[in-house]
Amino acid sequence: MASLHKLQEKEVMTDVTLTLPDQSAIPCHKVVLMAASPFFETMFQSGLKEGAEQNIKLDFADSDIIKTLVEFFYTGDIELTEGNIKEIVAGSDFLCCEHLKAHCEEYLADTVDCLNCIDYYRFGKVFNLKLLIKTAFDFILSKFKEFRGIADFDKLTEDELVEVVSSDQLNAENEDVVFEAVVHWVNADPDARKEVFPTIAPLIRFPFCSQKALTENICRNTLMQKSGCIDFAHEALWSQFHFNCGLSLDNVRCIPRHAFHSRTSLFQLIKSESPNEVSLCVASSNDGSGIEWETVLPCNTATFDSALAFIDGKIFAFGGDSAPKSVKSINLKESNPEWKFEQEMLSGLHRPPIVQFANKVYAFGGWNMRLAQEFDPALNEWRMRSEMPGLFNDGAAVAFGDKIYVVGGEERACYSYDPENDEWKVLSKPTHAHHSFPFATVWQGKILLGNMEHVEEYDPVEDRWSNRDELLPGGDINEMILYASCTL
């Protein structure tokens, strides 16, 4: 404030005095105030009584903020801090100083973090700070998977939560965290918010929740049951089940994996009409009403007989007829995505069952083979594990609890594998020889094994198989919904 103090001492050619809330006064030049602020320009040129007065009372901010603003008018310098930034924005908005307001907005956008993103998002809307609004909102989306670390998350308004949950750019590996966040928000004020849960629940993309979350958490959730939203979870289970069967698509190797894009996509290798052409395709379903496919790019290095997995943000293709040992990966977030070769498998496999367990990937069997191979994506290394108890051709595998279950195939296999101890166990055989693109998936604490002809259910606790052919498409969908309801 040195220049203002000096000005007050000399009162050189000043023609107006600003009187502040603390009754202090600042002698100023009208020409300076008018050049810096359209507010003062309008006041002094309007011909109104206030503009002709020599003493102008100001109370739009506290005295220190007004002095800081006047200092800026004279020197062009201003120190923005966490303690004064909001008042400076409000003052510059009142005085119509768009250049200063824009400078403040850049400062705010550069300091967005988990402690202030929601507060800044709201503040930006109050003063129409478009850059800050976008920056803060994008930050909330990017940190959503850690929503418990976002300050005031449970104080979002209903409209704000809807805006966040509706976004395709929400950073969530699957919809499990979206469901958790919505329930967390409701439970922060259940008396007021449980009534709006049915409005928000349809925005959760339940088909992209994990099967474990759907069966063990979502279907059992009190809010879901009492709000009448339980059908969303049942329909999602049916959608996942039907999708994993691959019965509605010709020449498709289905992948029971969630999206590359965290909220809207699933990927498959689809064989085209030409026998040597394969394309990587994406399926999207925002509301669970259906899955539509579109080609992303041709796969010159991956084949239809490759098995896909989604690991650490990349799509991996394992094995296949033309290159049975090959492992390729592609990152579609790159500007020009291309397939890249990873470390080859130790033994080549045709259509290998691939399972991700913890931070490793396992490939089993092969034609007339009992192999078990373990891949570490972080080290890009393979190693052999203990052989399977018997042959395993053209079956499926699924991770369940602390074990991997290798099931089906021509041999009607059912083995459990303990990755931690590298141990195998022989279990009861399924009734049918499930091959020709079989699927295995976890559902309601059981393992479903099937293909186009039969579906069986395996209970790991009882070591028992049961026929579930009624779950094939064309069966009664209500049977599956009833089954899910009865096991809540």
CATH of the domain at 9: 3.30.710.10
Q: Confirm whether pTM is higher than 0.75.
A: no
Does residue 481 fall inside a structural domain? no
Q: What is the pLDDT of residue 280?
A: 60
- Do residues 225 and 164 both lie within one domain? yes
Question: Where does the pLDDT of residue 260 fall: very low under 50, low under 70, confident under 90, or very high at 90 and above?
Answer: very low
Residue 486 within a domain: no
Instruction: Calculate the average pLDDT of the chain.
Output: 80
Task: Tell whether the model's pLDDT for residue 258 goes beyond 70.
Answer: no
- Whether residue 272 is contained in a domain is answered as yes
Task: Say whether both 328 and 410 belong to one domain.
Answer: yes
Where does a domain end: 175, 201, 234? Answer: 234
Count of alpha carbons within 13 Å of 445, Cβ hemisphere only?
A: 12
Average pLDDT over residues 31-55: 86
What is the pLDDT, as a whole number, of residue 214? 86
The residues facing 19 across adjacent strands are: 25, 57
Q: Are residues 396 and 317 in the same domain?
A: yes
- Enclosing domain of residue 221: 145-234
Given a cut of 80, whether residue 483 has pLDDT beyond it is no
Domain endpoint, select from 138, 165, 184: 138
Please tell me whether residues 334 and 461 are part of one structural domain.
Answer: yes
Evaluate if residue 64 carries a pLDDT over 60: yes
Please indicate, yes or no, whether residues 282 and 214 belong to a single structural domain of this protein: no
| Whether residues 362 and 446 fall in one domain | yes
Is 289's pLDDT higher than 50? no
Within-domain flag for 434:
yes
- What pLDDT score was predicted for residue 140? 96
Evaluate if residue 482 carries a pLDDT over 50. no
Between 5 and 404, name the one with better pLDDT.
404
User: Which phi and psi (to 5°) does residue 33 adopt?
Assistant: -65, -40
- Pair (443, 312) in one structural domain: yes
Boundary (domain end) residue, out of 138, 157, 192: 138
Tally of domains within the chain: 3
Assess whether 35 and 168 both reside in one domain: no
* Residue of higher predicted confidence among 251 and 145: 145
The answer to whether the CB of 302 falls within 8 A of the CB of 317 is yes
Q: What's the pLDDT band for 12 if we cut at 50, 70, 90?
A: low
Give the pLDDT mean for 22-28: 94
Least confident of 19-28, 140-149, 286-295, 369-378: 286-295
Q: Which residues contact 305 (CB under 8 A, 6 or more apart)?
A: 253, 319, 320, 321, 322, 350, 351
pLDDT single digits (tens) 372-399: 999 998 888 999 999 999 988 778 888 8
Confidence of residue 249 (pLDDT cuts 50, 70, 90): very low
Question: Which phi-psi region, left, alpha or beta, contains residue 116 (left: φ > 0; alpha: ψ -120 to 50)?
Answer: alpha
Band of the pLDDT at 329, cuts 50, 70, 90?
A: confident
Can you spell out the DSSP letters for 225-276? HHHT-HHHHHHHHHHHHHHHHTTTSTTEE------SSTTTEEEEEEE-SSTT
Q: Return the pLDDT at 171.
A: 84
Q: Which range, 99-113, 213-227, 283-297, has the best average confidence (pLDDT)?
A: 99-113
* pLDDT over 50 (residue 56): yes
17 found inside a domain: yes
Q: Is residue 367 part of a domain?
A: yes
Interatomic CA distance for residues 283 and 324, integer angstroms: 26
Per-residue pLDDT band at 245 (split at 50, 70, 90): very low
Q: How many helices (H) and strands (E) does the chain have?
A: 17, 23
Q: Evaluate whether residue 480 is within a structural domain.
A: no
430 and 443 inside one domain: yes
The answer to whether position 479 is within a domain reads no
Q: Are residues 257 and 196 in the same domain?
A: no
**Domain match, 166 and 312 both:** no
- CATH number at 221 reads 1.25.40.420
Residues in the chain: 488
